[in-house]
Each structure stands twice: as structure tokens, then as C-alpha cells.
Amino acid sequence: MLSVAKREPSAFLFAGQILGVLLYPFMTGSVGRAAFSLFGIAILGLVVLAVRDSPGVTRVAIGLALPASILLLIQVVTGDDALLPYSSALEAVLYFYAAGALIAYMLADHEVTRDELFAVGATFTLVAWGFAYVYVVCQAIEPETFTAAVDPTAERTWMELLFMSFTTLSSTGLGDVIPVKSFGRSVVMIEQLVGLAFVAMLVSRIVGLTVLRGARR
């Protein structure tokens, strides 16, 4: 299994993140929070593997993943979420760095491998996760940054913030979780721009490869 993950790290990272989307709703209560942290550590390991096979610097990824993992382990042992904003900040930086590394990996040549196809999905989910972690930090710094139709003044859960991040990045506009404070709205607008830029990059990449292939023929 590990050898396969090393050969196609983007595929395993993408699969792990999709699995997380399906499992997160069940990670509630003290046991669920511990499972959430442990699962997060596993994903960090897959992120490092993905960066290792990209033009990114592996040491930078490890330097971010290691302290984040330590903070997550402390949360597992203590059952206290006080360190959550700090681990989330480190995870956000790592996810954005990994997304940039995967983009460089996809643009490095004019051939499209199977792992590069999975890297497209992994990059999207990395950015979505990264912004969700940024929202966790925003909420910790300024409570009630985000509101929702259900229990408007409550602290938004991880699943709500991740859902908002996906709907913002994909520009679907389906979210019932919205920012109501100025800084939160600024971050959401930045994510909207990133989502549009990502789609534009993919379209230009496909067009460029199509033109190149036609020229070769």
C-alpha cells in the first residue's frame, strides 16, 4: 500500500480527502474529535508524500506538517480544542504550499500522466481544505464571523466551514453559511478569485495541450 502511495501520491491524497468529506459528519463528541485529529495527521502524511514528488521542497512540507501533527496529538491526549486555531493555521499554510507544488508539478511538462489527473482533484481539495482552516482561525480570532440559517450565533462546525469553502471555491453559491464580519468576507472574496483562477488555469492548460498536439500532427 505504501509503495503504491509513493508511486501515485496525488491519487491517494485525493482519495483520502474525499474519504474525509464522507467521514467528518460522524466525527462528533470526544471520541469523534480524537478521530478527527488522527485522521488529520494521516492526511498530513499524504500531503508530504505529494509534495515530495512535485517541484516543491519536501523539507518545507515536513517543517509545517510536524508541528501541526504535534499540536493535533496534544489535542487527542488532552481532549481540549484550545490549540485548534494554531494547528489549523499551520495546516492552512501547508495545504496552500502543497497546492502550489502540485500546480507546478502539473505544468512541469507537456505530458499528462494518470497521477497528474488525480493531482487536479487533489489541488482543488487542498485549496478548499486550506481556506476552511483559515476560516477556523478567523472564527477563533473574531467570534461570530460566520452565521448560518440554523443557530445563527453559534460557532460554526468544521463541516459547515468546509462546506462553505467548497461552495465558495466552486462558485456554486449553495451555502447556507455566510460571512457577516468584514475580514471574513475579505477572505471569502479571495477564495472566490482563487477558484476562478484555478478553472482558468485548467482551461488554458487543456487548450494549450490540444493546440500542441495538433501542431505535432
Domain segments of the chain: what residues?
2-216
Dist CA 213 CA 127 (whole Å): 30
Q: Say whether pLDDT at 209 is over 70.
A: no
Long-range contacts of 197-201 (CB under 8 A, 24+ apart): 198/123, 198/124, 198/127, 198/169, 201/103
Q: Say whether pLDDT at 39 is over 70.
A: yes
Query: What is the number of alpha carbons within 13 Å of residue 64 lying toward its C-beta?
Result: 20
Provide the percentage of residues in the chain whose pLDDT is more than 90: 53
Q: Amino acid letter at 112?
A: V
Q: For 131-187, how does the pLDDT look when each residue is reduced to its tens digit (9 = 90+)?
A: 999 999 999 999 999 999 889 989 999 999 999 999 999 888 777 899 999 999 999
Q: Say whether pLDDT at 36 is over 60.
A: yes
**pLDDT at residue 106, as a whole number:** 81
Going by C-alpha positions, the residue among 175, 170, 167, 85 that lies closest to residue 133 is 85
Q: For 65-96, how does the pLDDT look when each residue is reduced to its tens digit (9 = 90+)?
A: 999 999 999 998 888 888 999 999 999 999 99
Q: Say whether pLDDT at 205 is over 80.
A: no
